[in-house]
């Protein structure tokens, strides 16, 4: 059976780096074990790098985590980002939804309750879930 494709929001990757025993870190391990196919975009990678100053993490651990992803998608097409701009609360989040669609992800995993997770009922191309929801789906 082919592993499910999951697009990771930066919040989940940063949480995994900050808390190696939490649900977000478990999803990174699932990527490493090839239980899921994890994907991020260049835009997400930039956001991760910008926010690393907030947590004290070794560069080796950051590198291992980034290498857990099957590949890093280029920035999404502007036309697709504009389509999602109409739905998002934060204009900077359109790229996350567009990248998830371009990656043909089945799931977008995020910890952002106020901007991303609340969009779950409005999106049909993929499912928006938090780490716990995704772990439950994978383990059931």
Q: What are phi and psi of 117, to 5 degrees?
A: -60, -30
| Structural tokens at position 118 | 């609340």
pLDDT recorded at residue 92: 86
Say which residue the tokens 């780096």 belong to: 17
Q: What are phi and psi of 37, to 5 degrees?
A: -100, 105
**Better pLDDT: 54 or 112:** 112
pLDDT recorded at residue 49: 92
pLDDT recorded at residue 91: 84
pLDDT recorded at residue 59: 87
Q: What are the tens digits of pLDDT across the range 13-54?
A: 999 999 999 999 999 999 999 999 999 999 999 999 999 888
Q: What is the pTM of this model?
A: 0.95
Q: What are the tens digits of pLDDT across the range 72-105?
A: 999 998 999 999 998 998 988 999 999 999 999 9
pLDDT recorded at residue 54: 84
- Print the SS3 string covering the chain: CCCEEEEECHHHHHHHHHCCCCHHHHHHHHHHCCCEEEEEEHHHHHHHHHHHHHCCCCHHHHHHHHCCCCEEECCCCHHHHHHHHCCCCCHHHHHHHHHHHHCCCCEEECCCCCCCHHHHHHCCCCEEECHHHHHHHHHC
Domain count, the chain: 1
| Structural tokens at position 7 | 């697009």
pLDDT recorded at residue 103: 96
| Structural tokens at position 131 | 């780490």
Give the range of the structural domain holding residue 82, as residue numbers without chain letter. 4-139
CATH of the domain at 54: 3.40.50.1010
């Amino acid at each position: 059976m082919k592993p499910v494709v999951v697009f990771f929001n930066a919040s989940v990757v940063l949480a995994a780096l900050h808390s190696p025993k939490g649900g977000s870190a478990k999803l990174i391990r699932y990527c490493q074990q090839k239980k899921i196919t994890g994907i991020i975009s260049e835009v997400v990678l930039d956001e991760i790098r910008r926010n690393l100053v907030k947590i004290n993490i070794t560069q080796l651990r950051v590198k291992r985590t980034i290498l857990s992803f099957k590949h890093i998608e280029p920035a999404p097409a502007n036309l697709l980002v504009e389509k999602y701009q109409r739905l998002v609360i934060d204009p900077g989040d359109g790229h996350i939804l567009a990248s998830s669609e371009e990656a043909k992800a089945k799931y977008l995993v995020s910890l952002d309750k106020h901007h991303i997770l609340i969009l779950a009922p409005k999106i049909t191309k993929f499912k928006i879930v938090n780490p716990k929801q995704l772990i439950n789906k994978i383990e059931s």
